[in-house]
Structure 1
């Protein structure tokens, strides 16, 4: 049995073996939280680099105001570690009415906040809307980069590494790492990836790391020097083989995935990457990519995870933050978020837990650019591997 299959079974078993919570708080307890939340202002710190996502958050904030009397202010951030530093400093100063009430995080940022005691909770699995989360079919709703969430963050959406190509120019895209290396060699300068520590660039590193390690057990445990050296030796060998054939000979790398997507639109490169399987469809609908662009994932699977919202330990509006997090998890808000014309972010909910009316809100015809044959999602390695990967990549290739 392959390590990837074993890992998926382990995650599923882990999700199933954890004693399921009493999902919803008692009606009086939740009513008390809603009552206290009314009139509160929630400062929601979330990435502000997408007009589409910003518009969705604005809609959700408007609904929270109308329905619950909770004001939500979107604090647009570019870098989560800056927010973590602010929470850390406020906690160290004994400030109990912090400036951050809700954060959009996952991965190494969650790991940092959890380890340093910077998170309020557990709260997530007591939210009424949590009852419909797909904890069985999507075990990463409880495991964030192999770290148990322990109710300290509420799942918000799903993501998976996805590649984009123009089918008119590239009718047979590479379906695995070996084919990607051969494709890059046959098409010099037409492949690249973002420069780590950019999120998408680091994700590409993790994808290659998974592909070159048949036994991935060590990758799901906290990193150690010995484990890192053993697991990454084939990674660096694969990149050394790939880089000479990349855009600008692998001596320079684009800053982000958005830049590569524009390069794809301009015909400068043949391959772009994203962490949203619906990204290309969004771009085609906005006429920023031609309708001939298609999306796909490596047939054996690509890196996938869940992204979350969490409440800092010293949040001022803890009740308001819980009410807003609960609304973000509702079938209505999740269906709107999944709508390709709104955001196109895959849901964390289980369709078999929804009513027929709720399921109908998710039904939509496939649009140009969407992934036609989704591949298995490979769970992220433990969050502690990220910093080590980025530092070693920088040491080897950033010069």
Structure 2
């Protein structure tokens, strides 16, 4: 609560939002039930969202209900159907965990509500400068229509007792997989984790001068991906099951790593290995590897649809997700282990102390260990990439 008061005063003093405006939002939100449509495939994330629900109920009288999703596109489709039916108010989706192609789809179809991030007191702790990770979503400016809440960085996890670290360059994976035949794989690219694996390789292998920040044409896509498909054709025979089948998602591959069926996995959460080791889901010998040139990074956002029934309550939840104490707890591997989106340089003494108290772990990389952040390609690249992979490698 002290951090929130500091943020309110900071925003008011800077002219970004007035404390009385936020008080009005709090008054309107009290008693509301916010239906938060969020991917439900990870128990730790679900538990963390539930704990935030306990906080906003206790502090602001807002009830948070997670609507677990198998695919975020399901929630996008629901909002789109409501718009088509003329349901311009009292929508069933108040808040949605969103990024990448799903954000672009909602933005293009007019499914997002008015900008709201500037209304959040805890936005004072964010770097919202033009081009910052919190201001663009897969190269698309968010324009205040999404609020960040957790940082994602693509990393590999491997069992150091059974296998050498993956090579620093994706180009060298062909020889490395040949030295460990059948022991490496990736999730099906129909899943975002498998698609991210392909994007990581594309960024490195695409010809010099390829601009992945703009939508591809037929010609630019063919030219950019030709080296990728040559690389993958050479890699595939040495994948698990000769690349004829793939784990459904990262959770399945994590279990395969624990069961000694494969020796590596991958994640968009750099703390996932430390967290899984602490829970007994991975052996203590598992470590995290980042490619030499850095890895794809992005921010997970929450957005409020245009017809949300409980917009004020949704803003309260978005703000609570940015509280420094909550962000520090989220980064604790014993809780969730997701890296914070807050700018350490902007935190007050209380916020800095919360992060300084976090534990160390040999399987937990530091921000310095993670190296440079590679910008996500424009969402259209992922769509075309996964479609082309399906065309080439599934029968």
User: Under TM normalisation by the shorter chain, which class is it?
Assistant: over 0.9
Equivalent in 68, 84, 91 of residue 92 of structure 1? 84
Aligned residue among 69, 93, 109 for 2:102: 109
Match of 1:387? Answer: 383
Please tell me whether residue 79 in structure 1 is matched to residue 71 in structure 2: yes
* Inter-partner Cα distance in structure 1 for 2:145 and 2:40: 23
Pairing partner for 1:215 from 208, 214, 228: 208
1:215, CA displacement in angstroms?
Answer: 3.2
Give 1:216 deviation, angstroms. Answer: 5.5
1:190 deviation in Å?
1.0
Alignment counterpart, residue 341 of structure 1, candidates 318, 334, 339: 334
Task: Work out whether residues 120 and 311 of structure 1, in 8 Å CA contact, stay in contact via their aligned partners in 2.
Answer: yes
- Cα gap change, 1:94 to 1:398, in 2 (>3 Å): same
- Alpha-carbon distance in 2 for matches of 1:345, 1:224: 35
Asked if 1:31 is matched to 2:23, the reply is yes
Go from structure 1 to structure 2 and tell me whether the alpha carbon gap of 1:366 and 1:219 turns closer, same or farther (over 3 Å shift): same
Shift of 1:188: 0.9
Question: What number of residue pairs does the alignment pair up?
Answer: 379
Q: Which of 17, 33, 42 matches 2:34?
A: 42
Compute the TM-score of the two structures, normalised by the length of structure 2: 0.93
For the pair 1:397 / 2:390, whether they are aligned, the reply is no
1:16 match: none
Match of 1:369 among 349, 363, 373: 363
What residue is the counterpart of 2:9 in the other structure? none
Q: Is the 8 A contact 2:210 2:224 kept in 1?
A: no
Are the counterparts in 1 of residues 297 and 375 from structure 2 also a CA contact under 8 Å?
yes
Higher mean C-alpha deviation, range 288-297 or range 255-264: 255-264
Q: For residues 215 and 70 of structure 1, what CA distance do their matches in structure 2 show?
A: 51
Residues 142, 229 of structure 1: alpha-carbon distance in 2 compared, 3 angstrom cutoff: same
| Alpha-carbon distance in structure 1 between the residues aligned to 2:90 and 2:386 | 34
Give the distance between the partners of 1:198 and 1:23, measured in 2 at CA. Answer: 42
Alpha carbons 1:184, 1:190 under 8 Å: kept: yes
Q: Which residue of 2 aligns with 1:6?
A: none
Name the CA distance, whole Å, in 2 between partners of 1:137 and 1:318.
26
Report what 2:312 is aligned to: 319
Deviation per CA, 1:341-360: give whole Å up to 9, x if none: 11011001011111122111
Which of 45, 55, 58 is the equivalent residue of 2:47?
Answer: 55
Following TM superposition, by how much is the alpha carbon of 1:101 offset from its aligned partner in structure 2, in angstroms? 0.2
Q: Are 2:171 and 2:231, in contact at CA under 8 Å, matched by a contact in 1? A: no
Q: 3-state SS of the aligned residue for 2:156?
A: strand
SS at match of 1:159: strand
What secondary structure does 2:133 align onto? helix
Asked if the contact 2:207–2:224 (Cα under 8 Å) also holds between the matched residues in 1, the reply is: no
SS of the equivalent of 2:96 reads strand
The question of whether the paired residues in 1 share the 8 Å contact of 2:115 and 2:143 is answered with yes
Give the structure 1 partner of residue 220 of structure 2. Answer: 227
For residue 5 of structure 2, what is the aligned residue in structure 1? none
Structure 1 CA distance, aligned partners of 2:20 and 2:101?
A: 36
Q: Is the 8 A contact 2:332 2:359 kept in 1?
A: no
Change in CA separation of 1:398 and 1:67 when aligned onto 2, cut-off 3 Å: same
Sort the Cα spacing of 1:107 and 1:216 in 2 relative to 1 into closer, same or farther, 3 A. Answer: farther
Please give the residue correspondences for 1:259-270 in structure 2 after superposition, counting only pairs within 5 Å: 259-270=252-263
What is the root-mean-square deviation of aligned Cα atoms in Å? 1.7
Q: Which runs of 5+ in 2 are unaligned?
A: 1-13
Aligned 8 A contact 1:23 1:128 in 2: no
Show structure 1 runs of 4+ deviating over 6 A.
none
Give the TM-score, by structure 1 length. Answer: 0.92
More moved, 351-360 vs 208-217: 208-217
Secondary structure of the structure 1 residue equivalent to 2:333: coil
Q: Deviations along 1:42-69, whole A, 9 cap, x unmatched?
A: 1000111111111111110111111111
1:266-281 to structure 2, matched below 5 A, reads 266-281=259-274
* 2: CA distance, partners of 1:355 / 1:122: 26
In the alignment, what sits opposite 1:332? Answer: 325
